[in-house]
Structure 1
Amino acid sequence: MTVSDPLLKELKACTAKLMQASASGNEITDDDINLLPFCQNVEQIFQKGLVQGHSVLGLAPTAQSWYWLEQAARIPSSAGPSYQLAVSAVRSCPKVGTPLGRLRLLVRTCLAKKCLHAPVEALVRGGSPRGVYDPAGSVLGDEILGEILLSVLLQCGRLAFRLDLANCSFLDASWLPPPVARLEFVPCRSLGVCITFVGGKAIVAAVETNSLAAEDDRIEAGDVLDELNGRHVTTSMRGQLASIMRSGSGKPVTVTVIKACYPGTLSLYPPLVGLLWQARLDPDRVRSGHCRAATEHQDNTCLPAVSAGRAVAYVGSDSTGARGDVREIERAVGAVLAAEAPRRADARLVVVECHEMGVRVLGADDGRVLLKHSYMEISSCGRTSTWPHHFAYIAGEQSCNIAESFTCFVFECRDEEHVDNILHSIGQGFQRTHFAV
């Protein structure tokens, strides 16, 4: 008969260290070096030996322990109120989206509420729910090992855990807690942060120079905007960040940021590295701070210019007042062509460059920068059937979500494919960086 298991031995060792650390009455926090291996062992024990065909409440067969742990909370005789509250909190948390992430958050929540033993006791002593584990290949399916695990978790119930349960946005990917900063800014209309959404996370692509966010490097390129005014920021909130800012008008702005690097070091938070590459941010630049400096100086060398070396004619510009939507383009193009008709032959040749963070218009003869707008400032772009060889984009005098006046810039080019490439590149820029806070 099996009387031992390597995972159970490791868990007992971790528990002994946690008890030793709390012997003087100290609370166990996320900084305790023994907490991470303890949690990892609990996860492995809960996941080991699950019956693949086990069905939970009529759902499809699953091998994720979260489902039976959630089911246990619905059986009044099996779980106390603390455990039921823990499961409810995890179920309603928007920051975890996978069964594994919910399992991890539940373990942390139960430690804080001193009820991690509750579902194990229901399973080991009450046999509910049934048929979850293989008796021959698991701890929880074995009568003796299950009792030993229960005794260990009952010991943990006597320890005081003070854990940051709100810092859980990366639990789907890792047990390793990220460095987090909770900031408060004075009432304002804009923080000066440019966001790109990657993998469900709001990555800070750039920080405007001299903005509130840039003060003392409180928010830096590569950080993750986790909460804005108490709301968790996800991809589903594209385009809503400005309205969230406005809804708190006159009140301090609260922001929770997951930092790219650990404080006082140049070590990146490991699960964030892949997201940085997807966001087209060089992790080495983020680590050293060069990415922020490059943004401040408009060094847009991350991607080659889409239209480098291919000239178009810059016809002119027209004010669209407080309106920046695409419907203004046809009227503005007509107004520019009517006003500039006598000088059409003298239209200046320029090169339109679409970079990672914005658009630059350079003189084709001397390379001088004639126009420069970030995607945060550009509100729309396009062309019309009335003047098929002309295209334009509209930009505000500042970030378009707070701009009060807009201008339409008009160009002429008979190469339709080239025009399509430019407009498509500006459109991609909207998707990457057109979300300002």
Structure 2
Amino acid sequence: MILRKGIKQPVLGFKRRDYWHWIEQLPHQVTHRSMTRLSIMIEKTNSCEKVLRVQGRGRYFLRQALNGKLLAVTIQQLVRSPRLLEWYDPVTSILGNEDFLEPFLSMMLVVTEMSFSLDEQNSSFLDESWQLPVCLTYETVPCRELGMVLRYLDGRIFIIDLLPQSQAEVDEVVLVGDVIDEINGFSLRNACNGQAGTVLQKLKGKPLSFQIIRWKWHDGGLYKPLLPYLKVIQEQIPNFQLQHKHGHKEENVGRILQGGRLLYNLRYLGQVNVGKHGGKEVLDHGIPMVLDKHLPPQEVLFDVKETEVLVQQKISSKQVLFHYSYTDISCVGRRLDSNNLFAFCIVASPETPEHSSFDCLVFQSNSEEESEEIVRRIAVGFKHTEWFV
């Protein structure tokens, strides 16, 4: 790497120099007005809880500098500081050689004209690798027990099991082998034993948002920097196995990933008013009433969230068509003679319940299994929201 090439190492001393060491000294060596933004970026790097080593801090800073178009400014400030520039050998380095420095700086100015949008939050493995893991967000309701069995290993929190019928298993977001990176913005990098439980206790009764590092990489294989950790876990727990898919999902056919969530790709067939009663028995005639209208199916993305059901258009701007909390839904189910169809009833006018009636909304899924899965997840939503609403 150019920034590391040719750095002179001290003859005596245990601290090995890296490019981050001179970068963090720039605010003390240079007083140029362009240092303001750079100083803020350096301070942000030093305060980042997710990078612990010099190598990680350097990588984190470079990603920020690309996003903020400050990479060329960083090199220019180095040039303005002869004391720091002396760190580079003029023979073996690029930055310490005048003939090479000028074209390199010109190239950095060209890079400054480019726009980068690098994920700065996904930084917990920059100490080990430039290769970043797959990250996703797991949002869930406050509940008595999430059902994730955790193992702490070298400052990382691994999910080593999911309890049957627990909230975490039902939500079908995390997999055994994943790493918990954050809870509601609290970084758990370099976590000590029991720290996740302490954070959860402070957040008792509040909705939870987990940042999860997936054990699988983009190609479906193992994310390589996790291998040393997983080997240790396998030695400690001989029957430990990585979870490749969720128990109720044979394949994610017809699913779309959006914002770290898998959404169902369905067809909305329409809705009909079924009168003053919203029990599950009305579905038997509500579904045929919608089908008899012969309305054109509408492609939608269907999200069974932790506290609500959200439906948005698949095309155009993904406009939200409607969303209903579980307290607004009176029943959910499907007819046995229409395997791919399911429906749920909602209160037509929740603001005036004494005069309200119920609407039946009908959807077509891609398979009988998918239809069953959606109905089951909505039904579980009733169960897990009932006690805290």
Of the three residues 100, 104, 109, the one matched with 1:149 is 104
Q: Is the 8 Å Cα contact of residues 30 and 77 (structure 2) preserved in structure 1?
A: no
Of the three residues 96, 115, 118, the one matched with 2:73 is 118
| Partners of 1:99 and 1:110 in 2: CA distance | 16
User: Residue 267 of structure 1: CA displacement?
Assistant: 1.1
Q: Check if 1:286 corresponds to 2:242.
A: yes
Q: Is the 8 Å Cα contact of residues 273 and 283 (structure 1) preserved in structure 2?
A: no
| Partners of 2:243 and 2:196 in 1: CA distance | 27
User: Residue 189 of structure 1: CA displacement?
Assistant: 3.6
Find the counterpart in structure 2 of residue 49 from structure 1.
6
Equivalent pairs counted in the alignment come to 246
1:320-399 mapped onto 2 (5 Å cutoff): none
Q: Relative to 1, partners in 2 of residues 1:61 and 1:257: Cα closer, same or farther, differing over 3 Å?
A: closer
| Partners of 2:135 and 2:99 in 1: CA distance | 41
Q: Is the 8 Å Cα contact of residues 189 and 246 (structure 1) preserved in structure 2?
A: no
Of the three residues 89, 107, 116, the one matched with 2:44 is 89
Q: Is the 8 Å Cα contact of residues 151 and 159 (structure 2) preserved in structure 1?
A: yes
The one-character-per-residue Cα deviations of 1:55-106 (angstroms, maximum 9, x if unpaired) are 9xxx865321110111013334255222111111110011111111111001
Find the counterpart in structure 1 of residue 193 from structure 2.
238
Of the three residues 22, 26, 34, the one matched with 1:68 is 22
Find the counterpart in structure 2 of residue 36 from structure 1.
none
The one-character-per-residue Cα deviations of 1:21-64 (angstroms, maximum 9, x if unpaired) are xxxxxxxxxxxxxxxxxxxxxxx111110010189xxx865321
Q: Relative to 1, partners in 2 of residues 1:137 and 1:243: Cα closer, same or farther, differing over 3 Å?
A: same
The one-character-per-residue Cα deviations of 1:120-163 (angstroms, maximum 9, x if unpaired) are 11223542524210000000110121111111111121222111
Find the counterpart in structure 2 of residue 98 from structure 1.
53
Root-mean-square deviation over aligned CA pairs: 2.8
Q: Relative to 1, partners in 2 of residues 1:250 and 1:82: Cα closer, same or farther, differing over 3 Å?
A: same
Q: Relative to 1, partners in 2 of residues 1:159 and 1:183: Cα closer, same or farther, differing over 3 Å?
A: same
The one-character-per-residue Cα deviations of 1:145-183 (angstroms, maximum 9, x if unpaired) are 111111111112122211110100000110001000112
**Which amino acid is 2:148 matched to?**
V
Find the counterpart in structure 2 of residue 331 from structure 1.
none
Q: Is the 8 Å Cα contact of residues 105 and 165 (structure 1) preserved in structure 2?
A: yes
Q: Is the 8 Å Cα contact of residues 233 and 240 (structure 2) preserved in structure 1?
A: no
Secondary structure of 1:47's aligned partner: coil
Find the counterpart in structure 2 of residue 341 from structure 1.
none
| Partners of 1:285 and 1:150 in 2: CA distance | 49
Q: Relative to 1, partners in 2 of residues 1:285 and 1:241: Cα closer, same or farther, differing over 3 Å?
A: closer
Find the counterpart in structure 1 of residue 296 from structure 2.
none
1:156-167 mapped onto 2 (5 Å cutoff): 156-167=111-122
Find the counterpart in structure 2 of residue 277 from structure 1.
231
User: Which deviates the most, 273-282 or 150-159?
Assistant: 273-282
Q: Is the 8 Å Cα contact of residues 157 and 191 (structure 2) preserved in structure 1?
A: no
Of the three residues 211, 215, 220, the one matched with 1:256 is 211
Q: Check if 1:267 corresponds to 2:221.
A: yes
| Partners of 2:118 and 2:225 in 1: CA distance | 20
Find the counterpart in structure 2 of residue 393 from structure 1.
none
| Partners of 1:189 and 1:66 in 2: CA distance | 45
Q: Is the 8 Å Cα contact of residues 286 and 292 (structure 1) preserved in structure 2?
A: no
**Which amino acid is 2:215 matched to?**
A
**Which amino acid is 1:248 matched to?**
L
Structure 2, gaps ≥5 residues long = 250-389
Of the three residues 184, 193, 197, the one matched with 2:139 is 184
**Which amino acid is 1:88 matched to?**
E
**Which amino acid is 1:120 matched to?**
I
User: Which deviates the most, 84-93 or 241-250?
Assistant: 241-250
Structure 1, gaps ≥5 residues long = 1-43, 294-437
User: Residue 216 of structure 1: CA displacement?
Assistant: 4.6
| Partners of 2:50 and 2:61 in 1: CA distance | 13
Find the counterpart in structure 1 of residue 350 from structure 2.
none
Q: Is the 8 Å Cα contact of residues 222 and 260 (structure 1) preserved in structure 2?
A: yes
Secondary structure of 2:127's aligned partner: coil
Secondary structure of 2:152's aligned partner: strand
| Partners of 2:88 and 2:240 in 1: CA distance | 45
User: Residue 290 of structure 1: CA displacement?
Assistant: 9.9
The one-character-per-residue Cα deviations of 1:390-437 (angstroms, maximum 9, x if unpaired) are xxxxxxxxxxxxxxxxxxxxxxxxxxxxxxxxxxxxxxxxxxxxxxxx
Secondary structure of 2:51's aligned partner: coil
Q: Relative to 1, partners in 2 of residues 1:199 and 1:231: Cα closer, same or farther, differing over 3 Å?
A: same
| Partners of 1:201 and 1:165 in 2: CA distance | 19
Find the counterpart in structure 1 of residue 178 from structure 2.
223
